[in-house]
Amino acid sequence: MGIYPGLKLLLAPDPCAAVGGCRRFRCSMRGMRRVFSGATASGPPGARIAAWRDLAVVVLVTVVAAILCVRLNVSEALLGWTRPRERYQLDELPVVLLVLAVCLIWFSARRHRQARHEIVLRTRAERSLSSALAENRRLAQQYLESQESERRALARDLHDELGQYLNVIKVDSVSMRDRFARVDPEGRRLAVETLRNIDHIQAVVVELIRELRPAGLDELGLAAALEHCVEEWRRRLPRLSIGLATTDSLEGLDEVRRLALYRLVQEALTNVARHSQATRVEIRVTREAPARDSSARIVVSIEDNGVGLDAARSGAGLGLIGMRERMAAVGGSLLAQNPHHGGFTLRAEVPLETSE
């Protein structure tokens, strides 16, 4: 039976050549198996199953093609078709195609090796980025702790030092007012003005102390501190209706998380007063039970009926960035969005335990 000249070596009738070919074939199959096993061993089980399935398809298609070629005598048919066109050297086409297939295999192997190298580099970069993010979160948390410590010390100094001196000046002014009541009317008037100024300064100092250190946060807890904060804003903005709903189970929060949630509500109410033009604000603080893939967490939802995020972005952008960074520093998250019915909504989630 006629065969292509380029296929004679593959179908050599010499037993030694056939045995050598079988040995080479077995060696090639063992090498292919090692490469294939190395390529799939590191992947997930689903990927390994898919790879073995693809290999089975390749083997099956090859066997089917071999059977069809034997049954249909494809080589004889091609030889008969190319014999009248000998001048075009079409009988050398199988060797050319074989070389092309080998080159394509080499090309794909090179690309596969390059892709694996890029994946390794990307994995290293992702690990480095994850480590950097964890370090930034740790530094941010330390910064918040240092900031709150400085605020606590400043509030204590304002209360102990400046407050005492203001009280002494006030007592002296009252004494001067009473002494000059009948002797010197002008001196009494100046003493009364001094008392009025001292009362104003004391009110400002008390307000500064409340801003620096929330009243009752350490002694009474987060819920009482939020209620006090909301009462202050109700007094400042009587036109704004502020609703507050808190759960009874807010225990388990450390000082940093309590302060972060308090500052979040404080900053949100500041943005509402400055930018939103809202007439109603609803604040809800709840505790959600742990899910299968997450721990228990505190959820703070703040919703108003103002102009929304787009109109307020120019003034409240830095505030939102600061709130988001503060939440990220304690392992939480912050979502800001405009509901379909209008207004603006903030949703913050803070885990009771930060996952390392």
Whether residues 235 and 331 share a domain: the answer is: yes
Phi, psi of 335 (to 5 degrees): -120, 125
Closest to 270 measured CA to CA, from 221, 220, 219, 322: 322
Closest to 303 measured CA to CA, from 268, 259, 332: 268
Beta 333-337 vs 297-304: how paired, if at all? unpaired
Structure token digits, residue 226:
């939020």
d(CA 120, CA 124): 6
Whether residues 291 and 224 share a domain: the answer is: yes
Whether residues 126 and 26 share a domain: the answer is: yes
d(CA 302, CA 347): 7
pLDDT at residue 312, as a whole number: 45
Whether residues 335 and 247 share a domain: the answer is: yes
Phi, psi of 330 (to 5 degrees): -105, 15
d(CA 56, CA 105): 18
Residue 114 placed within a domain: yes
Whether residues 119 and 231 share a domain: the answer is: no
Closest to 79 measured CA to CA, from 64, 91, 67, 93: 91
The CATH number of the domain holding residue 258 is 3.30.565.10
Closest to 137 measured CA to CA, from 351, 334, 353, 325: 325
Average pLDDT of every residue of the chain: 79
Residue 60 placed within a domain: yes
Whether residues 96 and 179 share a domain: the answer is: no
Residue 4 has pLDDT above 70, yes or no: no
Structure token digits, residue 4:
């292509």
d(CA 54, CA 347): 47
pLDDT at residue 208, as a whole number: 86
Structure token digits, residue 310:
């787009």
Whether residues 10 and 120 share a domain: the answer is: yes
d(CA 353, CA 356): 9
Whether residues 119 and 147 share a domain: the answer is: no
Whether residues 115 and 161 share a domain: the answer is: no
pLDDT band at 112 (very low <50, low <70, confident <90, very high): very high
pLDDT at residue 354, as a whole number: 53
Residue 162 placed within a domain: yes
Q: For residue range 301-345, what is the model confidence (pLDDT) as tens digits?
A: 999 988 877 644 544 456 787 788 888 888 888 998 887 777 889
Rounded average pLDDT over 127-155: 85
Q: For residue range 57-71, what is the model confidence (pLDDT) as tens digits?
A: 989 998 998 898 888
Residue 356 placed within a domain: no
Whether residues 222 and 343 share a domain: the answer is: yes
Residue 126 placed within a domain: yes
120: left (phi over 0), alpha (psi -120 to 50) or beta: alpha
- Counting the structural domains of the chain, the total is 3
d(CA 351, CA 296): 6
Whether residues 249 and 339 share a domain: the answer is: yes
Domain's final residue, options 212, 236, 265? 212
Q: Which domain holds residue 338?
A: 218-351
Domain's final residue, options 212, 243, 263? 212
Q: For residue range 142-174, what is the model confidence (pLDDT) as tens digits?
A: 887 788 788 888 888 888 888 888 888 888 888
pLDDT at residue 243, as a whole number: 92
pLDDT at residue 9, as a whole number: 38
Amino acid identity of residue 320, one-letter, is: L
Residue appearing with tokens 């061993």: 41
- What is the SS3 string spanning the chain? CCCCHHHCCCCCCCHHHHHHHHHHHHHHHHHHHHHHHHHHHCCCHHHHHHHHHHHHHHHHHHHHHHHHHHHHCHHHHHHHHHHHHHHHCHHHHHHHHHHHHHHHHHHHHHHHHHHHHHHHHHHHHHHHHHHHHHHHHHHHHHHHHHHHHHHHHHHHHHHHHHHHHHHHHHHHHHHHHHHHHHHCHHHHHHHHHHHHHHHHHHHHHHHHHHHHCCCCHHHHCHHHHHHHHHHHHHHHCCCCEEEEEECCCCCCCCHHHHHHHHHHHHHHHHHHHHHHCCCEEEEEEEEECCCCCCCCEEEEEEEECCCCHHHHHHHHHHHHHHHHHHHHHCCCEEEEECCCCCCEEEEEEEECCCCC
Residue 24 has pLDDT above 70, yes or no: no
Whether residues 346 and 222 share a domain: the answer is: yes
Residue 16 has pLDDT above 50, yes or no: no
Residue 77 placed within a domain: yes
Domain's final residue, options 73, 99, 130? 130
Contact predicate 312/306, CB 8 Å: yes
